[in-house]
Amino acid sequence: RIVNGGEREGAKVCETQFRSNVARRTFARSLSGGAYRTRSDSNEGLVEGLIHYGRIRSNRVAEAMLKVDRKEFTNPLYERGDAYYDHPVQIGQGQTISAPHMHAEALELLSDHLYPAEAM
């Protein structure tokens, strides 16, 4: 994009956008906290890995994730046996289910705002 400063201004905008994208990717990688290494052949093993890497920090979230088997939300045609790996999985029609550590993080953030009668 070139604005009133001519090419020089356009180069500054491009450089700023590039640095912003690099920073965003670096930040996103730091959030994973190693959880992406979590692989298992069971939902229990996946949850244990997320606990080990600090992505699940409360018993309440651990219990919720143990009750809901991730494999039930994956499409066997696309998941290639990696339903219990901590990465997004295709579920069909160009859609993916997010990585389990993202679900864990969302549940951790919500857990203080939900009451026992409410479902997680």
Q: 32, 40, 98, 111: which is the annotated catalytic residue?
A: 98
**b/e per residue, 13-42, with b = 16+ CB within 10 A?**
eeeeeeeeeeeeeeeeeeebeebbebebee
Concerning whether 98 is annotated as a catalytic residue, the answer is yes
Residues paired with 90 in a beta bridge: 96
Tally of CB atoms within 10 A around 51: 19
Q: Which residues are catalytic?
A: 98
